[in-house]
Chain A
Amino acid sequence: MGDNLKVIEAENVSYNYPDGSTGVRDVTLEIFEGERIGLVGANGSGKSTLILLLAGLLKPTKGNLRIFGKEVDKKNVEDIRRRIGVVFQNPDDFLFNPTVRDELLYVPRQLEWGEEELEEALRYHAEIFRIEHILDKPPFRLSGGEKKKVEIASVLVYRPEVLLLDEPTAYVDGKTRRHILKILDDFEGTLIIATHELDVAEKLADKFILLNLDHRIEAVGGKEILKNEELLERAGVI
């Protein structure tokens, strides 16, 4: 990857949930600045777990994980959170503020942006996501598509360097789906998108990591992976 900075590095990372079930097994990968990664796999292959691990929200039960060259600890966790944005699969699990406005400004207020900057960020993101009319509504009362847009907007608003998305087009209709894909396509940082929808992965990513049903990496490569039916079938994607 030339001189590009290594953003995330996982070495034999495994994660087991407290009930004993496996999240991911022996994952080794490197993600460089500016890469657009599609994390592809069947339901239950460990995509969501891997997204939470790569975001530093889960601690591996085995192996080493470095984000921006460091293991996540108390000292650097806030810096990592500011530089990495993560969008959960289910917006109901993500949105917790009383109004959409508070949701969008949750991180900028922590970063102590000035009033003018806050208003400008709010106006800009409300406009591009077409959510101006719901800014004062409680997020849990919105439709599925609106929730998803608010969720993504509340992460993009603080301009993270790395964007991790777990099934960003789940719960949305065709029109909202196209709208979200267009916005994500315009994102200029490092993008890691977990999805089982191959067309979404193909549109947004140029490098792919295929997870199999044994929760391991089956293959890493370019778009040829998405054309390899035998490989996809073996991984349970088709």
Chain B
Amino acid sequence: MHELLERTIREASSYFQNFLIHEYSKKSALHAVDARIKLIATIIFVVLAVSTFNPEKVLLVLIFLITISAVTGLSLRSIAERVWLFALFSFIVVLPISLSNPIYPVTFTLRVATSLVAIQMLVMTTSFAEICLALRSFRVPEVFVSALWLAYRYVILMFKELLSILLARESRRVSKGSHMDVWRKGGEAVGLFFLRSFEKAEKVQLAMEARGEALSHYHGKLKMLDFVYATIVAFTVFWWVII
């Protein structure tokens, strides 16, 4: 039982960490699109997905997103790997409603999946620093952007710490042990995890202070590719309205 629990925590940590980290190994055309355009496009796609209960409209947005990803060379498999768990979870959560409204769980899951695909298209092709800078260029208050940036850094660190503790335990787990032992050791590991996360967070804070934690301003002019992408988004909105 405890092995299953430990494996679940490890897989979940790896999943959530991966969900937040932007893809850097495979470049696509979307990587070259300006972060500000991608940010606005993501907000538009999410709004389109969640502001309707018409499954055809949601499906239209999802098809557009998948097509854009495929055409620009973004790995559909990577997107699916990052999205499926949340989509499945949302489906399970609303499944009881199917007794009164059979189509609702499908529509709801489609909305969640579409929003997540849109977010992943941004996360996988844009570093978090660029996203924060794009937010600043839209005059989002600095305190909000800084808090977002710090939260992102610490969440990544926290999952990294958790994964390293689990891997270290795994490397020296030579017997199953009694349940009592497992819970006692597990409790100690959790305590240590919080202590280490706290210590690491302090070190990161010092490192950020040493090198300056303020995000600079966004530079760069819009290119032809940015206008092409903006046109595609407008085209999606147009079809969403007339369908």
Q: Is A18 an interface residue, CB under 8 A from the partner?
A: yes
Stretch in contact with the other chain, from B54-62, B84-92, B142-150, B173-181: B173-181
Give the distance in Å from the alpha carbon of A27 to the alpha carbon of B73 in the complex. 28
Q: Is A29 an interface residue, CB under 8 A from the partner?
A: no
Total contacts A-B at CB 8 Å:
73
A97 pairs with B188, CB closer than 8 A: yes
B174 pairs with A57, CB closer than 8 A: no
A81 pairs with B25, CB closer than 8 A: no
**B100 CB, nearest partner CB in chain A, Å:** 39
**B37 CB, nearest partner CB in chain A, Å:** 24
Q: Is A4 an interface residue, CB under 8 A from the partner?
A: no
A81 pairs with B172, CB closer than 8 A: yes
Give the distance in Å from the alpha carbon of A158 to the alpha carbon of B172 in the complex. 10
Known interface pairs A18-B18, A96-B189. Does A81 touch B173 (Cβ–Cβ under 8 Å)? yes
Q: Is A10 an interface residue, CB under 8 A from the partner?
A: no
Q: Is B23 an interface residue, CB under 8 A from the partner?
A: yes
Closest partner residue, chain B, to A111 (CB atom): B174
Q: How many residues of B contact A (CB 8 A)?
A: 31
Q: Is A21 an interface residue, CB under 8 A from the partner?
A: yes
Q: Is B75 an interface residue, CB under 8 A from the partner?
A: yes
A112 contact set on B, CB distance < 8 A: 175
B164 pairs with A107, CB closer than 8 A: no
B170: which of A18, A57, A158 is its contact (CB, 8 Å)? A57
- Mark contacts of A103-131 with chain B using CB atoms, 8 A cut-off: 1 yes-contact digit, 0 otherwise: 00011001110000000000000000000
Q: Is B171 an interface residue, CB under 8 A from the partner?
A: yes
A82 contact set on B, CB distance < 8 A: 174
B81 contact set on A, CB distance < 8 A: 18
**B21 CB, nearest partner CB in chain A, Å:** 6
A97 contact set on B, CB distance < 8 A: 188, 192
B24 pairs with A19, CB closer than 8 A: yes
Give the distance in Å from the alpha carbon of A94 to the alpha carbon of B168 in the complex. 5
B23 contact set on A, CB distance < 8 A: 19-20
A106 pairs with B176, CB closer than 8 A: no
A18 contact set on B, CB distance < 8 A: 14-15, 18, 81
Closest partner residue, chain B, to A82 (CB atom): B174
Q: Is A55 an interface residue, CB under 8 A from the partner?
A: yes
A81 pairs with B164, CB closer than 8 A: no
Q: Is B140 an interface residue, CB under 8 A from the partner?
A: no
**B42 CB, nearest partner CB in chain A, Å:** 20
**A161 CB, nearest partner CB in chain B, Å:** 13
Binding site for B on A (CB under 8 A): 18-22, 52, 55, 57, 78, 81-82, 86, 88, 92-98, 106-107, 110-112, 140, 154-155, 158
**What are 19 residue pairs bridging A and B, where the CB atoms are less than 8 Å apart in the complex?**
A18-B15, A18-B81, A19-B21, A19-B23, A19-B24, A21-B25, A22-B25, A57-B167, A78-B174, A78-B176, A81-B173, A92-B164, A94-B171, A96-B169, A97-B192, A107-B172, A110-B172, A110-B174, A140-B199
Binding site for A on B (CB under 8 A): 14-15, 18, 21, 23-26, 75, 78, 81, 164-165, 167-177, 188-189, 191-192, 195-196, 199
3 nearest A-B residue pairs (beta carbon): A93-B164, A82-B174, A20-B25
Q: 11 additional contacts, CB 8 Å, given A78-B176, A97-B188?
A: A19-B18, A19-B25, A20-B23, A20-B26, A20-B75, A57-B167, A78-B175, A82-B174, A94-B171, A107-B172, A111-B174
